[in-house]
Amino acid sequence: MSGRSVPVSGVCEPGWESVRAAIEANFAATGELGCSVAVFHRGRPVVDLVAGWTDQERTADYTADNLQVVFSTTKGIAATALAMCVDRGLVDYANPVSHYWPEFAAHGKDNITVAQLVSHRAGLYTIDEKLTLDEILDDVRIARALADTKPRWEPGTAHGYHALTYGWLVGEIVRRVDGRDIGRFVNEEIAGPLGVELHIGLPDRLHHRVALLTQEKAKSAGGEETPEAKAARELIERMLGPDTPGGQALSLSGMWTGEGLFNRPEVLRAQIPAAGGATNARSLATMYAALQQPVNGVKLLSDETFAAATAVQTPTNEPDKCLIVPTSFAMGYMTHSMFTQYAGPGSFGHPGFGGSVAFLHPERELAFGYAMNALAANLAGDTRAQAIIDSAVRCADAA
């Protein structure tokens, strides 16, 4: 490991210095390697920092030019794309999915509403058909397999995390009502107008900018795996075995597996709207801020659709049939709960496997994004991210 100090660059406005300090502290206390962090407050960017390195040898600095795969944090981007379709009158959350996608009605799914689907209440966390990786990476092909899948429980009676399938389901609705695939929709309707980068399906010409993911464990200053990291890893291993609903959801019943899968070019270029987004913290925070108020002259949703998209759809403290513990969902966004604490009650957004997270806390007008290349053993509640979030909350409350 390089003996030089952690490189940190970017913007941190006066009054927000403790956010930078929290980022730097993570490098001393955990296995942080490289990351980007961004904070908007009252519609303005107040923190936009990158820190660390892109390689485990600590020779190449992590820069503002780097893009990062953010796993399920991508779901918040997909939820926003769908909400914009609702805002334009193309979709109604109360309508059956089959109203827009007739083939979806197979196997008794004709009455599943869009709201039930995007709040993970449809029982479609995996597929019945056996597919190859190439077939899974074809978003039209995987959508056809989902339409031909029987729900694992009576839709609407429970919820369980649709770890991978959520994205293809939402993507197909967007395609049916708008005509564009979700990657193009996001680029043309969200990223372009806001002047940010939110890629679902990364063009080959941009692959060189991706900071590759590592499996480095979170460590204490002494080099040992931290107790929190060990407990999280053991809990995941116990709850999400290959024969459990959670394990099937995360691996598409064993079909979605492979060493370094999300570092592969064919996976980077594929449209995986639940897990394969390539972006950075600034872009994520900008998008969430623009849900509530204009950013760069762009406000993504009307107040009415904003309220509908962020309304909780799952019963309080209802256990997630895939993740076991209680989780809370709005229209595709994960809302504040013990599983996803964010900045406290009222927050909504989405975390990603290994640590990334982005959210908005409307009351504080606080939007946050964190992306990193060293994966911790968690699906949410990353201690690195939460330390930075807690600092940002204190700064916002003092502003």
Q: Is the pLDDT of residue 53 over 80?
A: yes
pLDDT over 60 (residue 221): no
236, pLDDT greater than 90? no
Extract the tokens encoding 376. 């911790």
Query: Of 57, 172, 7, whose CA–CA distance to 104 is shortest?
Result: 172
Q: What's the rounded Cα separation, in Å, for the pair 261 and 126?
A: 18
For residue 235, is pLDDT > 70?
no
Distance CA(123)–CA(40), nearest Å, equals: 36
Residue 186, token pair as written in the block: 């996001």
* pLDDT at 219 exceeding the cut of 70: no
Residue type, 72: S
Tokens of 116: 């039930």
Q: pLDDT value at position 224?
A: 64
Q: Which tokens is 308 given?
A: 């509908």
Residues 342 and 107: their CA atoms lie apart, in Å, by: 38
Decide if pLDDT at 160 tops 90: yes
Identify which of 328, 273, 331 has the alpha carbon closest to the alpha carbon of residue 305.
331
Q: Quote the tokens at residue 228.
A: 């929190």
Q: With 90 as the cut, is the pLDDT of residue 216 above it? A: no
Q: Which of 92-101, 217-226, 227-236, 250-259 has the lowest mean pLDDT?
A: 217-226
- Average pLDDT value for residue range 291-295: 98
| Phi, psi values for residue 64, rounded to 5° | -65, -15
| Cβ atoms of 56 and 214 closer than 8 Å | yes
Q: What is the mean pLDDT of the chain?
A: 94
Where are the chain's structural domains? Answer: 8-77+185-398
Return the higher-pLDDT residue of 2 and 85. Answer: 85
Cβ count within 10 A of residue 65: 10
> Helices 281-292 and 74-87 meet at what angle, rounded to 10?
30
Confidence class of residue 80 from pLDDT cuts 50, 70 and 90? very high
Exactly one of 2, 9, 36, 72 is catalytic; which is it? Answer: 72
Tokens describing residue 142: 């995987």
- Side-by-side strand order, sheet with 357-361: 8-12, 44-52, 34-41, 366-372, 357-361, 348-351, 334-335
**Residue 225: predicted pLDDT:** 66
User: Is 72 in the active site?
Assistant: yes
Half-sphere exposure of 12 (CA within 13 A, CB side): 19
Residue 122: CA atoms inside 13 Å, Cβ hemisphere, count?
Answer: 36
Please state the rounded mean pLDDT for residues 12-33: 95
| Unique residue bearing structure tokens 């993911």 | 213
Q: In angstroms, what CA-CA distances link 349 with 40, 82, 148, 265?
A: 14, 14, 30, 27
- What pLDDT, on the 0 to 100 scale, is given for residue 258? 80
Q: Quickly state the pLDDT bin for 385 (edges 50, 70, 90).
A: very high
pLDDT band at residue 237 using 50, 70 and 90 as cut-offs = low
Q: CB under 8 Å to 224, separation ≥6 — which residues?
A: none
> Across residues 5-23, what is the average pLDDT?
97
Strand-pairing partners, residue 210, are 67
- Residue 2: what pLDDT? 45
CATH architecture of the domain 8-77+185-398 equals 3-Layer(aba) Sandwich (3.40)
Q: What is the pLDDT of residue 228?
A: 60
Q: Is the predicted pLDDT of residue 222 greater than 60, yes or no?
A: no
